[in-house]
Amino acid sequence: MAIKSKISAWEFFQSLGKTFMLPVALLAAMGILLGIGAAFTGGTTIEMFPFLGNSFLQMIFNFMIKISLVAFSFLPLMFAVAIPLGMARENKEIAAFAGLIGYISMQLGTNFYLTEKGLLKVADTKMIMGIQSIDTGALGALICGVLVFFIHEKFQNIELPDAFSFFGGTRFVAIATVLIMSVVGLTVPMIWPFFAAGINKVGLAIQGAGIFGPFLFGAGERLLLPFGLHHILVATIRFTEAGGTYITEAGNSIHGALNIFYNQFAMGPEYVSPEVTKFLSQGKMPTFIFGLSGAALAIYKSAFLENRTKIKGLLVSAVVASAVGGITEPIEFIFLFIAPVLYVFHAFMTGLGFMIMGILKVIIGNTDGNIIDFFIFGVFQGFWTKWFYVIPVGLVWFAIYYFVFKWYIEKYDIPTPGRDNSAQAQEAVESGDIAGYAAKIMLEALGGKNNIVNLDNCITRLRLVVKDADLVDVEAVKSAGAVNVIKLNNTNVQVIIGPKVQVLKKQLQKLM
């Protein structure tokens, strides 16, 4: 498959946002382990269920807490490795290795500068992988990962004179990375204070918005989602000073709402602040668990009677993906393109959900905003999390979504699933829950393998770089099982599939 030599700015940010998902997925999973371990080692839980006080069970729960720290302790390193790994189009293993080497080299360069200037004991430093350096957190790791990606793209095919040919090609990537990133490390003590100041200003602006801060975050994240850029906003709040800074009892600085939450959560409920969790799971719950379920019911009730049975599987799977998996795209992309007004309403309600949960001082952390988070970080932790507020607010959200969606769909005759009796629409509806896609047909509808320059995926979407987007037959792609197709420009195309996208991607790769 041909590889495009240059990457557009749009494609760059799309790819960058996608790379966050690898460490974030691990973080979410480890957060669940931490939540279970903390829930079942708490004194209140043991009083309610004395058998949990068994020494063997407690050892297991404490072990779960301990191993969950792998994601929290080494999150910056994971970003530094995941970004070049995810963005590289070929020789991905070399890019990942270079990410590791680059991150270490940057710390060594910083350590050398501080040592030579006599600042090692004066500057705000931290032990990072055994190296005393400046803690640049996830943002520093992000910059490192991006720089390593460009180093990899620049030097992976380099040809050296015969005498040095052994060091050419992909071998030279690691060498160049060490040299360049160590120099970058030398500059960190000089430029990092300016970066930190800028991020702090963003954080102060969000915090200064008071109760509207969570609203702006929640609504902004939904509005950025169709463009695949929401991960950047989310990562900024979760992992940088923009999401807050917390000074531990040991004097260490913890940056980012999610990092702070996990640190406080591990110490005990009395340490967890609702000021931190207002940007986390609880804000999503009214919409993800209840609101979108109401929208799905409205779409079902608005469908023609003879089509309701056919679309039931599609809607049920979309609701399960949202409420249980925290994956909202399968239902959002049902109405995003045919009724953008409803999507704007949905973004507003998501932001409002964040604001209301913040006002009520609900304390449910983690990342997904689904039923799993609700129970593990809410119900199982006790009443101090104020999880009980989620249910009445959620029921109100369900009713609002249902009546607004049903009214709008019927008043403006929006062709949501089940309201279009054309042959092509019926074929798409009868494909059910997206499992009925046909890879061969879809490949041809995308313009054939010769039209595809690069093929990748995120959680729910195929992300393609094509030679000519005009060759992509949108309706044929949808008939092959896709929810929808987005042509971002003449070379970048996204195909909305759903949670089964990884399976489809592999089938397409085999055909190509």
Asked if residues 34 and 64 have their Cβ atoms less than 8 Å apart, the reply is yes
Burial annotation 310-326 (CB, 10 A radius, 16+ → b, else e): bbbbbbebbbbbbbebb
Q: Other C-beta atoms within 10 Å of 407: how many?
A: 12
Neighbour tally for 73: CB within 10 Å: 9
Residue 167 makes CB contacts below 8 A (sequence gap 6+) with 160, 175
Per-position DSSP letters for 279-290, written without gaps between them: TSHHHHHIIIII
Tokens of 510: 């085999």
- 13, 18, 74, 177, 487 from 148: Cα distances, Å: 15, 17, 18, 7, 29
Q: Which residue in 186, 73, 198 sits closest to 134, CA to CA? A: 186
> What residue has token string 């913040």?
358
Going across the sheet that includes 492-496, the strands are 452-457, 461-466, 492-496, 484-487
Catalytic residue among 458, 472, 486, 497: 458
> If DSSP codes are grouped into helix, strand and coil, which group holds residue 438?
coil
Is there a contact between 368 and 281 (Cβ–Cβ < 8 Å)?
A: yes
Nearest to 472 by CA among 454, 486, 459: 486
Strand partners of residue 486:
494
Q: How far apart are the first and last CA of the chain?
A: 8
Q: CA separation (Å) from 53 to 40, 50, 410, 414? A: 9, 6, 57, 57
For residues 337 and 441, what is the distance between their CA atoms, to the nearest angstrom? Answer: 23
Q: Which of 200, 267, 280 is nearest to 238 (CA)?
A: 280
DSSP per-residue letters across 192-237: HHHHHHHHHHHHHHHHHTTTHHHHHHHHHHHHHGGGT-HHHHHHHH
State the Cα–Cα distance between residues 299 and 154, nearest whole angstrom.
50
Active site residue 458: yes
Residue 229 CB-density burial (10 A; 0-12 exposed, 13-18 middle, 19+ buried):
middle
Structure tokens at 455: 């093929």
Closest CA to 236 of 16, 11, 459: 16
Q: Tell me which residues are annotated as active site.
A: 458
